[in-house]
Every structure is written in structure tokens, then in C-alpha cells.
Amino acid sequence: MLEWLRPYRRAALPGDISAGIVVAMMMIPQGMAYALVAGLPPAVGIYASIIPPLLYALFGTSTTQSVGPMAIISLMTASTLAPLATPGTALYGVLAAQLALLSGLVLLLCGLLRIGFLANFFSRPVMSGFTIGSAIVIAWGQLRTLVGGPIEIGMTPHWPSILLGVGSLALLLAARSHLAPLLRRLRVPAAAADVGAKLAPIAVVLGAMALVQQLGLVQMGVATTGAVPTGLPGLNLA
């Protein structure tokens, strides 16, 4: 913190505040989604999105580092813990906390020993293949959530879940490519248009929540996350 705080300019404060708001809004749906990938309750993703950025802001040195839940780490957590416990159980949550703590200690040791140079020996094709493969596994694993049930021969489609999921996905893809140019054509300032495009996932989440509430989709069988506990959970590693 002392390294970046000394040369900090007051003129950068408004931009940093707006960037912090955008990142915070983005981390909510992203953290919840990555928690589901890891086999954990969505609220865990919100917890994991709050504490790491605060700690990195105090002790980190990079001003552009992205800190928080990540897709590949979530996938590896699920694959590691799946043989040991059932996702969603208390034991699974305890094992996930232990795994996160051990992973952090190993990373801290690697940093102290300065062995990050080993990453230079991984070729780009290997890393690209690993990333693409992980994306395919994550997409396939979340497909049952998108369509409202397991993917199997003879399954009965749950059309409310399918329409809500596919519609939300289509809006996200359209917003990613076309929302910012559309806002600029409507004479919205370029900076505001870019921020609006980045906040599109929040708008989609809020819109889906409104549809579920107003149309009574829960009574039609659309699954929801349920009540999210308030406050931070207690520390439990045993």
C-alpha cells in the first residue's frame, strides 16, 4: 500500500471510485456464478469477492491486478472435492475452506522463494488448451442449471427455465458486442457507454429477478438461490 499511496494523485480519485463501483457491481453475479461452479452456495462467492480485494489493496503492489474468484480455480476446487464430499453439505464447505487455506499457504511459500519464473516454461499452446478445455467443462457443467434439470435421454424440457436461461444468455452476448456502440449512437458519452456495457450483467440479473417475482416462476418450478444469510460466516476449519 505504501508503494502506490505515496505517488497517488488526487485527480485520479474520481476515476478510481467509479472503477471500484463498476468492479463491485460486476463481482456480485460473477462471484455467485463461480461459487456454483465450485459446488458451493452462491453466498460464498460474494464472501470471496469482498475479502481478497481488500487484502490485496493493503499488501499488493500491482494497480491493475484482478483479485477474486476465478473460473479455473473454481473448477479445480470442485474436481478436487467431489470424491471427498457431496457438494452443498457442511463437510464440503469445510473442505473447501481447508483447500483454500492450504492453496494460499503454498502460493505464499512460492512467492517467498521467488519461483514464479517456472510459469515461463509452460508453452502458450498448452496454456491455451487448458483454458479452452476448462471453459468447455464449465459450460457443460452449468448446462443443467440453464435448462432446469439434468441432461439425459428422455428428459422433459422445463420450458420456463430454458426460456429464462437462454434469454438471459442471449442478452449478455448481445450486450457484450453491441450495447456500447448502440449507446454511443444514442449520443451517450463514450466513457458512460463503456461503463453501461460493463454493467449489463447486473441489469440482466435484476431483470431476471423481476421476471421471477412478477410472473410467479418459482411456482412453475424455476429454481432460485433461496435466502442468502446476512453477515460473514464464522471461521470453521474442522
Q: pLDDT digits over 52-63, tens only?
A: 888 887 887 776
C-alpha cell at 155: 428428459
C-alpha cell at 34: 463461480
Distance CA 40, CA 47 (A): 12
Three-class SS of residue 209?
helix
Q: For 161-182, how does the pLDDT look when each residue is reduced to its tens digit (9 = 90+)?
A: 888 888 988 998 898 888 888 8
Domain range list for the chain: 14-141, 156-225
**Has residue 131 got a pLDDT over 90?**
no
Distance CA 77, CA 74 (A): 5
C-alpha cell at 91: 463437510
In this prediction, what percent of the chain has a pLDDT beyond 70?
92
